[in-house]
Structure 1
């Protein structure tokens, strides 16, 4: 066997060894998977009320941060609230609780009052107990009707997407407390 044969044999051995050891290639960081859905996509429509209480001895939403100039801003720009608000079957505060809205909302508008919402609507009633929907988007709270995107979910709402339509049912201008009616359409598997 000549020099060329030995070099070819060594290169072949090296290539086979690297392949067997799973040589690191730039493409190793990803993998494409073709998914075949066995279940059909479902559509669920929900109707409930969101009770946001910022006043009193036991508020359900509290201020956790603010910019230094927030108090001077007519839109409270820079104020961030942490919420654990009840979601109820009807508008009355004594109505049956069907879940909790937990997360953050903050005043994100300098010119117009608008909230950025990052909320998890966790349900505690009926077949939805333990399931949740994730809302992430702008809430133009002073508009009569506003839409916020559903960007995910858990439990029965796995891989959810959809829309949460809010409409103020009641608002106290003195305290800032509010009750918001929600009609939600969620697409999920």
Structure 2
């Protein structure tokens, strides 16, 4: 009789432990209805603007934080922090719609290839205060470079998509550049 009682007690404790672990897992993650977060129908938007990388002059918007080694032909190891203007047209006098904030680093030993990590922080219209986050590889001498959109904030929560970058103008003497960005982003 005592052995039956011990077996029953063991099974009861095992079941209780299993039940507690299932409840604990449920507390860690749960499904929610996206409407509770205000997420309606997903849409695809296309943004086009110009990214001004100003490394020269008295007020640069891109500064080297880590210089490349002297003997590197590709500037491998360079790290620049950026707070670059985003404008509607290629001229700096065009209407500013936001800023590209983040960094780029020379990540290739065989070509000029950058790792780009930046937020497009918008200041215009209904997108004011929202950001689109880009993280990807940018082989700068390719005519068109494609990088992924990995997220965003504000109106771009749960964003995904890609950007296409095309050099509009580059000054080899100063290093200044203007790049046209076309952003294709899925968002709510």
Class of the TM-score when normalised by the shorter of the 2 chains: 0.7 to 0.9
Bigger Cα displacement from structure 2, 79-88 vs 22-31: 22-31
Q: What TM-score do the two structures reach when normalised by structure 2?
A: 0.87
Task: Give 1:163 shift.
Answer: 1.1
- 1:81 equivalent in structure 2: 80
8 Å contact kept, 2:47–2:184: yes
Give per-residue Cα distances to partners, 1:139-164, cap 9 Å, x unaligned.
11111211111111111111111111
Q: CA RMSD in A?
A: 2.5
**Cα gap change, 1:19/1:119 in structure 2, threshold over 3 Å: closer, same or farther?**
same
For structure 2, which runs of at least 5 residues remain unmatched after alignment? Answer: none
**Cα gap change, 1:26/1:130 in structure 2, threshold over 3 Å: closer, same or farther?**
closer
Aligned residues: 185
Task: Give 1:5 shift.
Answer: 3.4
Mapping for residues 1-189 of structure 1, pairs under 5 Å? 2-15=1-14, 18=17, 22-23=20-21, 31=29, 33=31, 39-67=40-68, 70-189=69-188
Task: Give 1:108 shift.
Answer: 1.1
Give per-residue Cα distances to partners, 1:48-106, cap 9 Å, x unaligned.
00000001111000000135xx2321211110000000101111111111001000101
For structure 1, which runs of at least 5 residues remain unmatched after alignment? Answer: none
Bigger Cα displacement from structure 2, 5-14 vs 141-150: 5-14
Cα distance in 2, alignment partners of residues 141 and 29 from structure 1: 47
Q: What TM-score do the two structures reach when normalised by structure 1?
A: 0.87
Cα distance in 1, alignment partners of residues 155 and 62 from structure 2: 27
